[in-house]
A and B are shown apart, each in its own frame.
Chain A
Amino acid sequence: MLPWAGCEFIRETESALRSGQQQMLAGTARALANSMSQYSEEYPDQVVGGLASEQLFLHALEKSPRINGYFDDWLLDSASLRSIRGTDGPIRFALGSHGRMIYIYVEVRDKSVVFANAQTLIFDDGPSFADRVTLVSSSPPYLEERFVFAAEAPGAIVSYKQDSYGFAPETAISAHWQDVPGGYRVEARIPVELLGTHLGIVVNNTADKGVSAARISSYSGPMPFPVAKQSPELTTLASKLVQPGMRIVVTDASGWRLATTGELPSTTSASSFGTAWSQRIYELLVEAGKEASSAEPDPAGREQQPYVSSALGGREMAGWFRGEDNGRAIVAVASPITNGNQVLGALIVQQGTDAILSLRNEGLARLINVTLIATLLVAAALVGYASWLSRRIRHLSVAAVDALENETLHAALPSSLAGDEIGDLSRSFSSVLMQLGEYNAYLRTLASKLSHELRTPLAIVTSSLENLEHELLNEASAGYTTRAREGADRLRRILRAMSEASRVEELMAHADPESFDLRSVLKSTVIAYRDAYNERLFEFDCDIESAPAIGSPELLIQMLDKLVDNAVGFSSAGDTIMIGLKEDHSDFVLSVMNPGPPLPSRMRTQLFDSMVSMRENENSRHLGLGLYIAKLISEGHGGRISASNVDGGVAFEVRLPVDHS
Chain B
Amino acid sequence: MAKRIAIIEDEAAIRDNYSAAFRREGYAVDAFDARGPALNAFDNRLPDLVVIDINLKDDVEGGFELCRELRARSADLPIIFLTARDSEFDAVSGLRLGADDYLTKDISLPHLMARIAALFRRLEAMQKPQGVDSRLQRGNLTIDSERMTVHWQEQVVALTLTEFWLVHAMARYPGHVKNRQQLMDAAQAVLDDNTITSHIKRIRRKFIAIDDQFDAIETVYGMGYRWLSN
Chain B residues lying within 8 Å of A456, measured Cβ to Cβ, are: 11, 14, 84, 105
A587 within 8 A of B: no
Bound form: Cα–Cα A520–B193 in Å: 20
- B interface bracket (residues with beta carbon within 8 Å of A): 20 to 34
A38 within 8 A of B: no
Cross-chain contact A452 with B86 (CB below 8 angstroms)? yes
- C-beta contact mask, A546-588 vs B, less than 8 Å → 1, else 0? 0000000110011001000000000000000000000000000
Restricting to B141-156, which residues have a CB under 8 Å from any CB of A?
Answer: none
Given A456-B84, A460-B13, A506-B89, check contact A524 B198 (CB 8 Å): no
B104 within 8 A of A: yes
Q: Which of B24, B85, B194 has the most CB of A within 10 A?
A: B194
Cross-chain contact A524 with B220 (CB below 8 angstroms)? yes
- C-beta contact mask, B192-221 vs A, less than 8 Å → 1, else 0? 111101100000000000000000000111
Bound form: Cα–Cα A327–B14 in Å: 109
- C-beta contact mask, A510-531 vs B, less than 8 Å → 1, else 0? 1000000000111011111100
Q: How far is the CB of B214 from chain A (nearest CB, A)?
A: 15
State which of B20, B88, B104 has its C-beta within 8 Å of the C-beta of A467.
Answer: B20
Restricting to B1-48, which residues have a CB under 8 Å from any CB of A?
Answer: 11, 13-14, 17-18, 20-21, 24
Cross-chain contact A467 with B21 (CB below 8 angstroms)? yes
Chain B residues lying within 8 Å of A324, measured Cβ to Cβ, are: none
Bound form: Cα–Cα A460–B222 in Å: 35
A382 within 8 A of B: no
Given A462-B106, A464-B17, check contact A500 B192 (CB 8 Å): yes
B139 within 8 A of A: no
Bound form: Cα–Cα A46–B82 in Å: 138
Cross-chain contact A464 with B13 (CB below 8 angstroms)? yes
Chain A residues lying within 8 Å of B134, measured Cβ to Cβ, are: none
A134 within 8 A of B: no
Cross-chain contact A500 with B194 (CB below 8 angstroms)? yes
Chain A residues lying within 8 Å of B197, measured Cβ to Cβ, are: 507, 554
- C-beta contact mask, A224-259 vs B, less than 8 Å → 1, else 0? 000000000000000000000000000000000000
Given A459-B105, A462-B106, A507-B197, check contact A526 B86 (CB 8 Å): no
Bound form: Cα–Cα A521–B222 in Å: 8
Bound form: Cα–Cα A81–B113 in Å: 144
Cross-chain contact B221 with A510 (CB below 8 angstroms)? no
Cross-chain contact A558 with B21 (CB below 8 angstroms)? no
A660 within 8 A of B: no
Cross-chain contact A499 with B109 (CB below 8 angstroms)? no
State which of A467, A524, A561 has its C-beta within 8 Å of the C-beta of B223.
Answer: A524
Closest residue of B by beta carbon distance from A470? B24
Tally chain A residues at the interface, Cβ within 8 Å.
Answer: 37
B87 within 8 A of A: yes
Closest residue of A by beta carbon distance from B192? A496
Bound form: Cα–Cα A467–B110 in Å: 10
Closest residue of A by beta carbon distance from B25? A470
Closest residue of B by beta carbon distance from A528? B222
Restricting to A459-501, which residues have a CB under 8 Å from any CB of B?
Answer: 459-460, 462-464, 466-467, 470, 492, 495-496, 499-500
Bound form: Cα–Cα A464–B11 in Å: 13
State which of A466, A499, A522, A524 has its C-beta within 8 Å of the C-beta of B86.
Answer: A499
Cross-chain contact A460 with B17 (CB below 8 angstroms)? yes
Chain A residues lying within 8 Å of B140, measured Cβ to Cβ, are: none
Cross-chain contact B21 with A466 (CB below 8 angstroms)? yes
Bound form: Cα–Cα A503–B20 in Å: 32
Cross-chain contact A459 with B21 (CB below 8 angstroms)? no
- C-beta contact mask, B166-196 vs A, less than 8 Å → 1, else 0? 0000000000000000000000000011110
B108 within 8 A of A: yes
14 additional A-B pairs beyond A496-B192, A504-B194, A506-B87, beta carbons within 8 Å, are A455-B84, A456-B14, A458-B105, A467-B21, A467-B24, A467-B109, A499-B86, A502-B87, A503-B88, A503-B192, A524-B222, A527-B222, A553-B221, A557-B222
Enumerate chain B interface residues (CB-CB to A < 8 A): 11, 13-14, 17-18, 20-21, 24, 84-89, 104-106, 108-110, 192-195, 197-198, 219-223
Please give me the 7 A-B residue pairs with the lowest Cβ-Cβ distance, nearest first.
A528-B222, A525-B222, A459-B105, A463-B17, A466-B109, A524-B221, A455-B84
Would you mind naming 9 contact pairs between A and B with Cβ atoms under 8 Å apart? A452-B85, A455-B84, A459-B84, A495-B106, A507-B194, A520-B221, A525-B222, A554-B193, A554-B197
